[in-house]
Amino acid sequence: TLLVVAHSAVNRALIGSAIGVGPEGLNRLYQANCGISVLNFTAADRPAQLESLNLTAHTGQPLPPLRTGFKGPRLLLVRHGETEWNREKRFQGQIDVPLNDNGRTQAAQAAEFLRSTPIHAAASSSMLRPKETAEKILMYHPEVSLGLSEALWEISHGLWEGKFEHEIEADYPGMLAQWQSAPETVQMPEGENLQQVWERAIAAWQQLVERYSHRDTPQTVLVVAHDAINKAILCHVSGLGSDAFWQFKQGNGAVSVIDYPDGVNSLPMLSAANLTTHLSGSIFDMTAAGAL
């Protein structure tokens, strides 16, 4: 484990080069004073995984502060809490598995983490696990109604759904390794491919950004969805394609922050990603490494 302490521009250059964001995209990444980011390197010839970006809870600020002159909106992107199938590493996809007890605890911890953050609007996948997570968060924001969207549903794994990795390998030899190394090339049997997920996720995202722009007061919007959906959105706002799918980690109950500092027509800024300190107190993501 290596510690690197540097400056905003240097950190953004290091993080950007590690995950494939070029110099033209460094303004898409934000670094607050004393913000902590975690990168995981697996091989010299492969991009790093961004485990987390810009943790600031230890400074007394749960989320990075809004910058002077911020126009908005700010979107808080949350992954649903844990399910039994996450814990078992069973592929869920669009099977409507509810939260387990730990998932409900994670949702409550996310709610407490965001309790003092003004939230003006909220949207969620209409599946049970994100909907329950969103409802728990909004208990502290009773004036906010929750919009539900099928466009934010998890990727359809088709015939993989309900299966463990060893079962998938037995039924579809080599395909799981392809999914893990080149996910953008995989067509799920009787399910979706990442291009289809990208199209519906980014269309839903852009609709939310447009809807809550051009307001007298900058709006903060809660969005609760799934691993694949959130990764598609994080790739999109970072200027990366579906080949970068595995470069972003999304833990159950994690919070990411996407800002539009100069309004809807400006480049989005990834201000924080995969914040999980509210779940364990650690700077590292300690959530279940389950299947999608």
**Residues annotated as part of the active site:** 80, 154
- What does the buried/exposed string (b/e) look like for 192-228 if buried means 16 or more CB atoms within 10 Å of the residue's CB? bbbeebbebbbebbeebbebbbeeeebbbbbbbbbbb
Between CA 55 and CA 271 the distance in angstroms is: 10
Asked if 46 and 273 touch (Cβ cutoff 8 Å), the reply is no
Amino acid identity, position 281: G
Question: Within 13 Å of residue 47, how many CA atoms lie on the same side as its CB?
Answer: 21
Q: Where are the beta strands (DSSP E) in 26-158?
A: 36-40, 49-55, 74-79, 121-125, 146-149
Tell me the backbone φ, ψ of residue 124, rounded to 5 degrees: -145, 150
Contact predicate 179/186, CB 8 Å: yes
Backbone angles phi, psi at 280, to 5 degrees: -135, -15
Residues 6+ apart with CB under 8 A from 180: 246
Residue 109, Cβ neighbours under 10 Å: how many?
18
For helices 101-113 and 128-137, give the axis angle rounded to 10 degrees.
Answer: 40
How many whole angstroms separate alpha carbon 212 and alpha carbon 65?
19
